[in-house]
Amino acid sequence: MEKPASRWSHEVVVLMPPRPRSGRSPAAVEAIGPALQALLDDGRAEPVFQANFQPNFQLDLQPVRKSDRQAKAVSLVLPKVYTVKTLGEAQTREVLETLSDDMGAATVYVAPPRGVLARSPGADMGAQSSSMSHWGMQYVAVDADAVDASDIAVAVVDTGVDRAHPDLVNAIDAYVNFCQDESEDDVQGHGTHVCGIIAATGQPPGGMKGACNARLHVFKGIGVKYSATDYYRALGAALARAKIVNLSLGGPDHDPAEELIIQQGLNSGALVIAASGNDGDDGDYPNYPANLPGVLAVGAIDDQGARADFSNAGPHLSLVAPGVDIWSTAPTKASSLFKKKSGYAPCSGTSMATPFVTAMAARVAAGHPGPPPAATIRDNIPIERCPGQTGKTDDLGYGCVHWKGPFVLSNA
């Protein structure tokens, strides 16, 4: 049978269980079975992490700029993961059953999709930049004694970024496209918008200025057609590259490989910040990876400090940030989210709230004498209660991120 190529409809994931370590030797993994080996030999299956992605690899990326800032290259132990692209329900079920029998000790499942968590900007998306409202920046007080975060690397896993945008060209240190069947362009527009909120370098009212001046390391892992293989690779690269990782993406179903990759990143010292999801108006649903242990889950508020009606809630929600009608950079080419080539547009979603928190985390890291542990950054992200809030709630977490100026970290 031929490999389905671009016609595939599902991906079957084989997540290999690590064996216990013996002394200081690397952890071994379960040997692959004959059925999986045959699929590998035929080119129908592939290992997710190969070449640069071997266990204990040192990721070697070429930055767009000569300065590599303080991006890390850690020994990140990634799991053994294989994927098989399938066509149709019958073939998917056949592969799933065959590999489940073949690899009894492995976790075999159909990869759940991941997507960006932004809502269409609607009729205002083509408005001129002179009408941009930056209420979100004002709400979180980005101008209050800002610190220099230019030595802090922030990783963004998303739909890519428009590297030619005048407000982003000087903010990006590295860009890697893991979407095998797509160009490097941000054809969806979402990643460009997220990156602008974090660290755009323009000047209002005619340009977009982000919430910090950290250096962006962008990994395109969410294509027009979702591929778990591409996403896992982008996620692994981001966790190896930066201490602070922005995930303005997710889905309602748990993904065991995603959880294990993120857990390994957390173990290596990363801080993972993820959008809580946009299903709030249909009921409160957990969203992954925001619902995973150790991940900082971010919800959205409106300009009155109330939970946005779409923002997912729950006991896992950590904090909130502005997420309604947030202006930021849009691709200079047409994109699916922003139809017009405006360069700037408003958008709503927990996707837009998450980069505010990421930017404040970068500021906290910048204020620390020496590289701070991820837990120290997380515990010192400044938060204020939302109007009428007296304690942690499922709707608002501990409150809204709010910069209070440089300070001595309590856990330094």
CATH number at residue 189: 3.40.50.200
Residues designated as active site: 158, 190, 351
Cα–Cα dist 373/377, whole Å: 7
Gap between the Cα atoms of 361 and 380, Å rounded: 8
Q: Is residue 407 included in any domain, yes or no?
A: no
391 shares its domain with 252: yes
Tens digit of pLDDT at every position of the chain (412 positions): 344 455 789 999 999 987 655 544 444 456 789 999 999 999 999 999 975 554 333 344 444 443 444 555 556 888 899 999 999 999 999 999 999 999 888 999 999 999 998 976 653 434 444 468 899 999 999 987 778 999 999 999 999 999 999 999 999 999 999 998 899 999 999 999 999 999 999 998 889 999 999 999 999 999 999 999 999 999 999 999 999 999 999 999 999 999 999 999 999 999 999 999 999 876 667 899 999 999 999 999 999 999 999 999 999 999 999 999 999 999 998 899 998 767 999 999 999 999 999 999 999 999 887 788 999 999 999 999 999 999 999 999 999 999 987 654 544 4
CB 243 within 8 A of CB 71: no
Residue 212 falls inside a structural domain? yes
The CB density around residue 63, as the number of other CB atoms within 10 Å, is 17
Total structural domains within the chain: 2
Q: Is 319 domain-assigned?
A: yes
As given in the structure block, the two tokens for residue 174 are 């590295």
259 lies in some domain: yes
Q: How far is CA 288 from the centre of its chain?
A: 11
Give Cα 392 to chain centroid, integer Å: 25
Length in residues, the chain? 412
Q: Specify whether 189 is located in the same domain as 266.
A: yes
Q: Domain span at residue 297?
A: 115-401
Does the residue 408 lie in any domain? no
Indicate if 344 and 359 belong to the same structural domain: yes
One domain for residues 163 and 64: no
Smallest CA-to-CA distance from 212 within 230, 200, 229 is with 200
Q: Which two tokens stand for residue 254?
A: 């748990």
Residue 205's pLDDT is 85
> Does residue 213 belong to any structural domain of this protein?
yes
| Whether 90 and 132 share a structural domain | no
At which of 110, 131, 151 does a domain end?
A: 110
Which of 110, 138, 172 terminates a domain? The answer is 110
208 CB-near residues (< 8 Å, 6+ apart): 129, 132, 167, 196, 200, 202, 327, 328, 329, 344
Helix axes 190-199, 350-366, angle to 10 degrees: 30
Shared-domain flag, residues 94 and 121: no
Q: Are residues 91 and 156 in the same domain?
A: no
Residues 363 and 217 grouped into a single domain: yes
- At 29 the pLDDT is 56
Residue 75 has what pLDDT? 66
Smallest Cα–Cα separation from 294: which of 272, 276, 321, 268? Answer: 272
- Residue 330: inside a domain, yes or no? yes
Final residue of a domain: which of 110, 126, 158?
A: 110
- Gap between the Cα atoms of 133 and 366, Å rounded: 27
Specify if 166 maps to a domain: yes
- Considering the domain architecture, whether residues 72 and 191 belong to the same structural domain is answered as no
269 and 326 in one domain? yes
Q: Are residues 92 and 122 in the same domain?
A: no
Q: Are residues 379 and 267 in the same domain?
A: yes
pLDDT for position 283: 66
Per-residue pLDDT, 21: 54
Q: Does the global pTM surpass 0.75?
A: yes
